[in-house]
């Protein structure tokens, strides 16, 4: 059995996978022509959706594809085959995403960027910071990453509520409501952390109507998908001071082109889709575990339901 590894760090993946699965033949590349030449002889593919989707479009397909991203949107494009097993990366991004969210929350409360600006201007800034204790945090998307973010934030004394596809009880959230409750909970929150996947129901979610419910002191952190935010509506809301700030990790078009209004928008920080990079060690562990499940004919961790889109 052969595994195609389509990752730039393929040597790290190969070292860990080979030690656990010595009978597995490993081939690797990130070059499109080489991938096309190798993919047809491989039952298993491991790599990012943007590199592997073109192979599917050319009629190649594995028995099982393990994505190294949490999102698998490129693999769901119209016309691509769906007669293979697909699993997305789960259980490996929780801490690093939580660190990203916490870092930007602390930066906002401690006024780090305002202090940096004051230092550049040689102006003494004696304004007092606030604590995270008591701050109201709304996590939109309460899957494994959202759960990890909430668990990570809990010791800081924040109030936690969540939004998911369906209402449910889920610790440590005081409430996890269905999507129709989003306007009500946005109006409650000091921080709105969007972690939703890209599905037809989550696109253009943060539009003018929803942004009008934000508190003037609130911060939007979008580390989910860029298509969830209507760019022009967010820009207008910031211009009108409908919310305090926005931290945008993901955009509709990446890389963001020169001249896009996000570059110069007031109180908007771009972080270049860097919130939760894939750790080869953790990703290799997930692949090895899923390989055992695949060989046994069992459900895979993060197995994608094509009809649902995640």
213 is catalytic: no
Cis-peptide, bond into residue 255, ω within 30° of zero? yes
The phi and psi torsions of 148 (rounded to 5 degrees) equal -65, -40
Distance of alpha carbon 114 from alpha carbon 117, whole angstroms: 5
Distance of alpha carbon 164 from alpha carbon 100, whole angstroms: 21
C-alpha count within 13 angstroms, C-beta hemisphere, residue 222: 26
Residue with the two structure tokens 């924040």? 158
CB 191 within 8 A of CB 221: yes
Catalytic-role residue among 10, 104, 135, 225: 225
Q: How many helices (DSSP H) and strands (DSSP E) are in the chain?
A: 10, 12
135 is catalytic: no
Distance of alpha carbon 72 from alpha carbon 151, whole angstroms: 25
Alpha helices in the chain (DSSP H): 10-20, 32-39, 49-57, 94-109, 112-120, 144-153, 182-186, 208-211, 231-239, 280-295
Catalytic-role residue among 36, 115, 273, 293: 273
Distance of alpha carbon 35 from alpha carbon 8, whole angstroms: 12
The DSSP letter of residue 261 is G
Count the Cβ atoms, other than its own, within 10 Å of residue 109: 18
Catalytic residues: 225, 273
């Amino acid at each position: 059995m052969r595994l195609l590894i389509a990752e730039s760090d393929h040597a790290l993946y190969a070292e860990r996978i080979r030690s656990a699965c010595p009978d597995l033949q490993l081939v690797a590349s990130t070059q499109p022509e080489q991938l096309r030449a190798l993919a047809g002889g491989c039952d298993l593919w491991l790599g990012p959706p943007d590199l592997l989707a073109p192979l599917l479009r050319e009629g190649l397909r594995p028995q099982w594809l393990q994505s190294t991203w949490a999102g698998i949107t490129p693999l769901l494009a119209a016309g691509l085959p769906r007669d293979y097993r697909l699993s997305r990366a789960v259980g490996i991004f929780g801490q690093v995403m939580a660190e990203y969210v916490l870092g930007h929350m602390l930066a906002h409360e401690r006024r780090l960027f305002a202090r940096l600006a004051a230092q550049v201007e040689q102006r003494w800034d004696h304004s007092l910071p606030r604590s995270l204790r008591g701050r109201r945090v709304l996590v939109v998307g309460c899957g494994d990453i959202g759960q990890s973010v909430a668990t990570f934030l809990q010791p800081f004394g924040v109030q936690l509520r969540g939004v998911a596809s369906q209402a449910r009880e889920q610790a440590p959230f005081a409430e996890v409501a269905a999507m129709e409750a989003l306007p009500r909970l946005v109006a409650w929150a000091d921080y709105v952390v969007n972690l939703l996947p890209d599905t037809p129901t989550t696109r253009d979610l943060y539009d003018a109507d929803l942004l009008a419910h934000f508190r003037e002191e609130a911060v939007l952190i979008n580390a989910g998908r860029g298509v969830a935010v209507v760019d022009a509506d967010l820009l207008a809301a910031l211009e009108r001071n409908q919310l305090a700030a926005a931290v945008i990790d993901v955009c509709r078009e990446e890389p963001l082109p020169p001249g896009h209004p996000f570059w110069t928008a007031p109180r908007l920080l771009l972080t270049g889709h860097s919130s939760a990079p894939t750790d080869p060690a953790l990703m290799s562990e997930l692949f090895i575990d899923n390989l055992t499940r695949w060989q046994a004919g069992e459900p895979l961790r993060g197995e994608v339901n094509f009809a649902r889109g995640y």
